[in-house]
Amino acid sequence: MQFGVFTIGDVTEDPTTGRTPTEAERVQSMVAIAKKAEEVGLDVFATGEHHNPPFVAPANPPILLSNIAAQTTNLELSTATTLITTNDPVRLAEDYAYLQHMAGGRVDLMLGRGNTGPVYPWFGKDIRKGIPLAVENYHLLRRLWRETAIDWEGEFRTPLHGYTLAPAPLDDVPPFVWHGSIRSPEIAEQAAFYGDGFFHNHIFWNKEHTQAMVRLYRQRFEHYGHGAADQAIVGLGGQVFMADTEAEAKRIFRPYFDNAPVYGHGPSLESFTRDTPLTVGTPQQVIERTLGFADYVGDYQRQLFLVDHAGLPLDAVLEQIEILGKEVVPVLRREFEARRPEHVPSNPPSHASLVAEGPDSPHRKVISATAGLDQVTEEAAV
Amino acid sequence: MTRRLVVLTAGLSQPSSTRLLADQIAGAVAAEVSGRGEAVDIQTYELREYAVDLATMMATAGMPTARLDQLRRAVSAADGLVVVTPVFAASYTGVFKMFFDALDTDALNGMPVIIAATAGTPRHSLVLDHALRPLLSHLRAVVMPTGVFAATEDFGGGAAGRDLAGRAGRAAAELAAHVVSTGGDAVAGFTPTSTGRDSGVDVPTEVTPFMKLLGGHSG
């Protein structure tokens, strides 16, 4: 199973000191966080994509991820999320294929639609078309990574004739893709159709909702013939702050919680830790809470933690990653594997595992589903 | 078949004249539905008791609480609705609006609704048609032609008190006609099978097959 951190790169005042990091400091902090994650044995670093202050997550994640790739050797580099709605799928195909080459294949990505309204018109798109944009753009993206001399016409982008991606994906194997959505069943359906991964952010919502979304994805994954429902590739978010005692963790984290973007000045720390996966306490408490996630989403493959937001200073963030790597994740790895049935994959597909599947791998097909293919053929014939 | 009537009352004091009016209208609706040979189940909710849940949802970019989800499900599952608010600063109260802000866009599609309000003075009576009616129309509810407004003096005796009961009865008769006619009168296959109402609380178990979403794109 993979464990890692994901960040949205918010530039937020530290409420205990009144100091706001500069954008330059915050950009560099994201590199430091990724390097620390590798140093302490975590598996994944995922960055958000942003186009507006107060965020410095890159507008084009491969820029940051290439830099990190050059300074790490094992870390899997991912996104949380790459905007499939407002980005040109041709540029996504080009930039992420290039990143694969820079990172020696240590790349996957998570697609999302984005929820910042003005970003859509800034890029000439209509937020009300979010789902159709995600569907068409991703289908084109799959073709760009898998075919040459492409002729293509769609609703949202200028047509292509005779387009061939360069460089082609590393070893002709496109990166593995996750689809992230908090509440849109269409996106769970999309992930299931292609046999891609499904990631639930999890941290701003009650667990019953996360459970229902993951269940839907698993059922449809099986429907489309990619394997049994419990073999579908699931990732979850989580949010933690740890100290030697629960009281100490709460004392340190409370001012950050109370002033945090998104949920600050709202619910109490106590009610938010009850209603969402946020865990503020000892490493042992984080271990127990996290193991419990599998009780309601099933055995899963990737757990990402949010540890660097709400103005927490970098040294505190690095300390949290240290605790995760040294005390929490080794136990989680052991315990999650102990409960996992043999037929359920431990890890999401990696570049190496996808290469090993060979040229006839379903992953290399534009439409990898087996259910509903008759319909595709009929429509293609019309 | 028992018809479900949900009553939402946004009074902040206890006892509240808004709750008094809500109960009076609910009773009138029960009588009118019963008079048409159907049973009625009345569930009354004080929105004041959901103020903290609503504030939590607003302050977390939309994370609902379990209690609020239960209320949202109950409202969308109702056959008819009675909504009553006091007038604060020439309009409905904040907590009243927050509840409607917390609803899914399809939560009230086709819902028959009686709108009602209380105030200290009859000079606020147009609040029904300037504030409540557009709000419910926006949410695609079917608002009864008769709204029920009660100023303090309407709770007294004489003509004013009798007129209030008359208005409540007329609104109740309008709502009962809608509530009792729900379902059964459309020929199957010729109209949409349901109201298309959805509380938005639960993840749907039926999804649009991806080939349909994908349209003409092929591999």
Q: Which of A186, A208, A367 sits opposite B219 (nearest CB)?
A: A367
Question: Taking CA atoms, what residue in A is nearest to B52?
Answer: A267
Position A382 scores a pLDDT of: 45
DSSP string, A123-168: TT--GGGHHHHHHHHHHHHHHHHH-SSEEE--SSS--EEEE--SSP
Residue of B nearest to A268 (CA): B56
Kindly report the length of chain B: 219
Q: Report the share of chain A in percent with pLDDT over 90.
A: 93
pLDDT at B191 over 80: no
Q: Which residue of A has its CA nearest to B209?
A: A189
- Strand-pairing partners, residue A5, are A45, A305
What CATH number is attached to the domain comprising A343?
3.20.20.30
Given this model, what pLDDT does residue A374 score? 59
The rounded distance, in Å, linking the Cα atoms of B34 and B63 is 39
- Band (A123; pLDDT cuts 50, 70, 90): very high
A378: pLDDT confidence band, cut at 50, 70 and 90?
A: low
Strand partners, B6: B43, B81
B21 contacts: CB under 8 Å, gap ≥ 6: B9, B84, B116, B118, B148, B150, B168
pLDDT, mean of residues B72-86: 97
> How distant is the Cα of B105 from the closest Cα of chain A, in angstroms?
14
Closest-CA residue of chain A to B201:
A209
| Mean pLDDT calculated for residue range A26-50 | 98
Cα–Cα distance between B124 and A314 in angstroms, integer?
56
CB contact under 8 A, B208 and A186: yes
What pLDDT score was predicted for residue A380?
A: 53
Query: At B193, is the pLDDT very low, low, confident or very high (cuts 50, 70, 90)?
Result: very low
**pLDDT score recorded for residue B194:** 60
* Among candidates A131, A265, A365 on the partner chain, residue whose Cβ is nearest the Cβ of B59: A265
Please state, in angstroms and as integers, the Cα–Cα distance from residue A64 to each residue in A12, A34, A61, A168, following that order. 20, 10, 5, 21
Q: A237: exposed, middle or buried (C-beta count within 10 Å: 0-12, 13-18, 19+)?
A: buried
Range from A18-22, A46-50, B3-7, B199-203 carrying the lowest mean pLDDT? B199-203
From B115's Cα to the closest Cα of chain A, the distance in A is 31
State yes or no: pLDDT of A298 exceeds 90.
yes
Q: Give the number of other Cβ atoms within 10 Å of residue A382's Cβ.
A: 5
pLDDT-derived band at B27, boundaries 50, 70, 90: very high
Taking only Cα atoms into account, the Rg of chain B, rounded to an integer number of angstroms, comes to 19
Assess whether pLDDT exceeds 60 at residue B195.
Answer: yes
Q: All domains of chain B, ordered by start, with CATH?
A: 3-214 (3.40.50.360)
Query: Which residue in chain B has the smallest CA separation from A368?
Result: B219
In whole angstroms, what is the distance from residue A192 CA to residue A211 CA?
Answer: 16
Kindly report the backbone phi and psi dihedral angles of residue A178, in degrees, each rounded to the nearest multiple of 5, phi listed first. Answer: -105, 150
Beta strands in B19-59 (DSSP E): 40-46
B146-180 residue pLDDT tens: 999 999 999 887 888 889 999 999 999 999 999 99
- Interval A163-207: pLDDT, tens: 999 999 999 999 999 999 999 999 999 999 999 999 999 998 889
Mean pLDDT of B118-127: 96
Handedness of CA A60, A62, A63, A64 (dihedral sign): positive
ipTM value for the complex: 0.86
Confidence of residue B183 (pLDDT cuts 50, 70, 90): low
Distance from CA of B218 to the nearest CA of A (A): 6
What is the bridge-based pairing of β-strands A279-281 and A176-180? Answer: unpaired
The DSSP-derived string for A104-122 is TT-BEEEEE----TTHHHH
- Interchain CB distance below 8 Å, A205 and B63: yes
pLDDT for residue B15 = 86
Alpha carbon separation from A232 to A76, A298, B4 (Å, rounded): 20, 10, 41
Give the tens place of pLDDT for each residue, A68-112: 999 999 999 999 999 999 999 999 999 999 999 999 999 999 999
Instruction: Test B203 with A185 for CB contact under 8 angstroms.
Output: yes
Instruction: Look at A263 and B214 and tell me if their CB atoms are within 8 Å.
Output: no
Nearest to B66 among A188, A192, A206 (CB): A206
Whole-model pTM over 0.90: yes
> CB neighbours of A137 closer than 8 A, spacing ≥ 6?
A84, A85, A87, A89, A92, A156, A157
Number of domains in chain A: 1
pLDDT band at A376 (very low <50, low <70, confident <90, very high): low
Tell me what pLDDT residue A375 has.
56
Contact across the interface for A266 and B56, Cβ inside 8 Å? yes
pLDDT digits (tens, 9 = 90+) for A151-165: 999 999 999 999 999
Average pLDDT over residues A48-60: 96
CA separation for the pair A27, A49 (Å, rounded): 13
**Alpha carbon of A139 to those of A40, A109, A136, A362: distances in Å?**
37, 15, 5, 15
* Residue A277 distance to chain B (closest CA, Å): 13
Asked if the Cβ–Cβ distance from A376 to B203 is below 8 Å, we say no
> What's the mean pLDDT in A288-315?
97
Structural domain harbouring A340: 2-381
- Helix axis angle, A61-71 relative to A89-102, nearest 10°? 0
Q: What are phi and psi of A83, to 5 degrees?
A: -80, 115
**What is residue A361's predicted lDDT score, i.e. its pLDDT?**
96
Report the sign of the C-alpha dihedral through residues A332, A333, A339, A343, in that order: positive
pLDDT digits (tens, 9 = 90+) for A260-269: 988 899 999 9
Are A262 and B60 a contacting pair at CB < 8 A? yes
pLDDT exceeds cutoff 60 at A316: yes
Residue pair A330/A336 in contact by the 8 Å Cβ criterion = no
Distance CA A307, CA A112 (A): 21
Residues of B in contact with A265 (CB under 8 A): 59
Q: What is the reported pLDDT for A371?
A: 78
Sorting pLDDT into bands at 50, 70 and 90, what band is B95?
very high
